[in-house]
A and B are shown apart, each in its own frame.
Chain A
Amino acid sequence: AQKVTQAQTEISVVEKEDVTLDCVYETRDTTYYLFWYKQPPSGELVFLIRRNSFDEQNEISGRYSWNFQKSTSSFNFTITASQVVDSAVYFCALSEDNYGGSQGNLIFGKGTKLSVKP
């Protein structure tokens, strides 16, 4: 069965602090995809990153970085030098590959609400 766990319900940090959002997933498939989305107070989900299961290379994009470790089934997200604009709910999601067809549906974690205070 597929499952995504974001154990941190809420995190509060002060601006310029680094913060890591945890994501642990469960899947029986060998080919799958992991995603992070940001949902600011306006409500729109903003795509941040997609990771394929066969690519464990970590990625950095500006202040954002992602650590994918298959050995622990984790796909953690770190924001360096956080800013007030980073305040949002962040969702981790998983989808499996339907061989010969399209990708499976997204399975979302419950989200982590990040509050960055000035």
Chain B
Amino acid sequence: GAVVSQHPSWVICKSGTSVKIECRSLDFQATTMFWYRQFPKQSLMLMATSNEGSKATYEQGVEKDKFLINHASLTLSTLTVTSAHPEDSSFYICSAREPRIAGGIGETQYFGPGTRLLVL
């Protein structure tokens, strides 16, 4: 399957600082990437859909100014947690959706390895 990388894998930061997480699709161009958040022993919660060249679409309840998303190229999306606080500590996972091939059927999302954020 396709490969998606995520960097960094671990972040420990002080409250009030901003943290940037990068998500890259390594072997395909992804016009659409997704950012999820996962709490311990829970399922994935979609935060936002990142569209190349346009503004991200945020899910209800997710603060746009808190979680800044930039999708500057077809292989890179970034999530910046601004002024992080302890309640932002979580596991953040990105995914990249493979492009639909003309005449093809459906697309698959491939996930990055995730970033564990701990805000002290």
CA distance A102 to B46 in the complex (A): 17
A76-111 toward B: CB 8 Å interface, digit per residue (1/0)? 000000000000000100010100001101101111
- Give, as a whole number of angstroms, the nearest-CB distance from A93 to chain B: 9
* Per-position 1/0 for B81-110, Cβ under 8 A of A: 000000000010101010010000111111
A44, B113: Cβ atoms under 8 Å?
yes
User: What's the least CB distance linking B67 to chain A, in Å?
Assistant: 17
A37 to B107, CA, bound (A): 14
Whether the pair A43, B113 counts as a contact (CB closer than 8 A) is yes
Interface residue ranges of A17-59 to B (CB < 8 Å): 33, 35, 37, 42-47, 50, 52
Q: Is the CB of B110 within 8 A of A103?
A: no
* Contact assessment for B44 and A47 in the assembled complex, using a CB-CB cutoff below 8 Å: no
Q: From known contacts A43-B114, A50-B106, A97-B106, infer whether A103 and B43 are also in contact, taking CB-CB under 8 Å.
A: no
Chain B at the A interface: SS class: strand
In the complex, the answer to whether B44 meets A91 with C-beta atoms within 8 Å is yes
Q: Which residue of A lies closest to B59 (CB)?
A: A105
Within the complex, the shortest CB–CB distance from A71 to chain B, in Å, comes to 21
Q: Do residues A102 and B107 form an inter-chain contact, with CB atoms below 8 A?
A: yes
A110 touches B43 (CB 8 A): yes
Known contacts A44-B113, A45-B95, A106-B34; 20 additional CB pairs below 8 A are: A33-B106, A43-B91, A44-B112, A45-B44, A46-B111, A47-B108, A47-B110, A50-B106, A52-B105, A91-B43, A102-B32, A102-B97, A102-B107, A103-B97, A103-B100, A106-B46, A106-B109, A108-B43, A110-B43, A111-B43
Closest 8 CB pairs of A and B: A45-B111, A44-B113, A43-B114, A33-B106, A108-B43, A110-B43, A103-B107, A47-B1
Residues of chain A having any CB pair with chain B under 8 Å: 33, 35, 37, 42-47, 50, 52, 91, 95, 97, 102-103, 105-106, 108-111
Binding site for A on B (CB under 8 A): 1, 32, 34, 42-44, 46, 49, 91, 93, 95, 97, 100, 105-114, 116
